[in-house]
Amino acid sequence: MKKTLTAFFVLLTTVFNGFAVDMSQEINSATEKILPQVVEWRRHLHQNPELGNREFKTADFIEKRLRGLGLEVRTKIAKTGVVGVLKGDSPGPVIGLRADMDGLPVTERVNLPFASKEKTEYNGSQVGVMHACGHDSHVAMLLGTAEVLSKMKSKLRGTIVFIFQPAEEGPPVGEEGGAALMVKEGVMDNPKIDAIFGIHINAQTEIGKIKYKSGSFMAAADWFTIKVKGKQSHGSQPWLGVDPIAVASQIIGGLQMIVSRQSELTKAPVVITIGKINGGVRENIIPEEMTMAGTIRTLDDQMQKEVHERIKTTAQKIAESMGATAEVSIETKTLVTYNTPELVRQMLPSLAKSVGKENLVETEWTTGAEDFSYYRLKAPAFFFNVGGMPKDKNVKDAAPHHTPDFYIDDSRLDVGIKAFCNIVFDYQPMMKTARNSKDKIPMEILIEQVPVENYFPAQFFDVPFQPFGFESGFAF
Ligand SMILES: [Zn+2]
Ligand SMILES: [Zn+2]
């Protein structure tokens, strides 16, 4: 019986694999052909960056090209988002591919013929605008992917949804935006996406390389504010008042105890940073109140919830012990960017084909964050990095993302296109998730925090393991 079953599964696997014809050669030559065009698009976008929720020209640029390819196009999703739908000639899964579109309030300092000279108003002041995170390259690579795949329509199974998302770096104050709003407006639902993929160029990863991590990859980012209220007094007589600054200094110490004494650090890292303190007007006046604000980074959904609770308790109890009060508010900016292990395992050969096995590098988790994390509430997801650092450069000399000197070498944008296209042709619906549920995939499956090594030992694919990543390119 056991033998029969085994034979049956072997047969089943063969049949399934039979659907997947290796298209990598065809993808390679089609990509090489359009690469100069893709680089031109990227440079045009680089020269014309727009801030989050204001990507009007960028959206027009994308729409025009998608329509030119004969795709079904939807616009104004989550303000300025654009979605293109490509239906293959035979039925199959629905795959989402995502690129973010926004630039940053940074004034470019790189000496390039296509450097940005854009200026705009941001939070009431005049600022330069720059694609200082490389989202220009993401748009160009996804447009290139749409072009390659639309020409292979006759061989394509299923449907591809090209998602061009605004405001990854966060919407302007008081506005909604980004991936969370895209999800809220149903971008994952119609057609219902079975698996979603996204890439980020990385200025500290050499061109021609792909870096990935299974399971938790990038951190959840929360921003928080603590307002401490005491009682005003003369600076010479603190016993007549309640000093909110002294209380705050105790709270700051207490917050670090959450990291070092209360969080299970062998499970996942936790970071709590206070980035801002405001209070007081003069040396000899104890003020009535003060505020501080900071950010929390966690790489596990449960730990994120626990840290929130502990911050509230720590701040409130310390304040109470000194006769003050503390109001804590926490705003979640992104979730943990979690790469579904089964999906990662399935797609690694496709990534290896795209860059060569030796250029596919497993990396560590990063405390940077990405709003791509919201899509995994709806489908298994996989987000990875492609290299943008020139070959002759040292990692330490490569300017970080979000800085005026940020620079990427765009000669290897083919990597992203090849990776997306190979993924599309190789993807098979997964046993555990997409296959058994037409409705919402249970959250437990999506957010299951399984020790990665159980699923995916570093040696599994015989790829170099790099213990210390230099990931940046994150929003919050
Ligand atoms: Zn980014
Ligand atoms: Zn960024």
pLDDT in tens, 423-463: 999 999 875 444 333 333 333 333 333 333 333 333 333 33
Residue 79 — left, alpha, or beta (φ > 0 → left; ψ -120 to 50 → alpha)? left
Which ligand has the shortest distance to the CA of 170? 2
Q: What pLDDT score does 5 carry?
A: 55
Q: What pLDDT score does 172 carry?
A: 93
CA of 312 to the centre of ligand 2 (A): 29
CA of 246 to the centre of ligand 2 (A): 35
What is the tens place of the pLDDT at every residue in 18-73? 455 789 999 999 999 999 999 999 999 999 999 999 999 999 999 999 999 999 99
Q: What pLDDT score does 431 carry?
A: 56
Per the listing, tokens 């801030």 go with: 51
Please tell me the distance from the alpha carbon of residue 469 to that of residue 47, in angstroms, as a whole number.
Answer: 30
Is residue 162 within 8 A of residue 74, CB to CB? The reply is no
- Exposure class string for 345-363: b at 16+ Cβ within 10 A, else e: ebbbebbbbbbeeebbbbb
Task: Tell me the chain's radius of gyration from C-alpha atoms.
Answer: 24
Which ligand has the shortest distance to the CA of 100? 1
The proportion of the chain whose per-residue pLDDT surpasses 70, expressed as a percent, equals 86
Confidence (pTM):
0.86
SS percent in the chain: helix, strand, coil, step 5: 40, 25, 35
| Amino acid found at 247 | V
CA of 473 to the centre of ligand 2 (A): 5
Which residues of the chain register pLDDT less than 50? 10, 13-18, 432-474
What is the tens place of the pLDDT at every residue in 227-264? 999 999 999 999 999 999 999 999 999 999 999 999 99
Is 342 in a helix, a strand, or coil? helix
CA of 202 to the centre of ligand 1 (A): 9
CA of 200 to the centre of ligand 2 (A): 9
Which ligand has the shortest distance to the CA of 130? 2
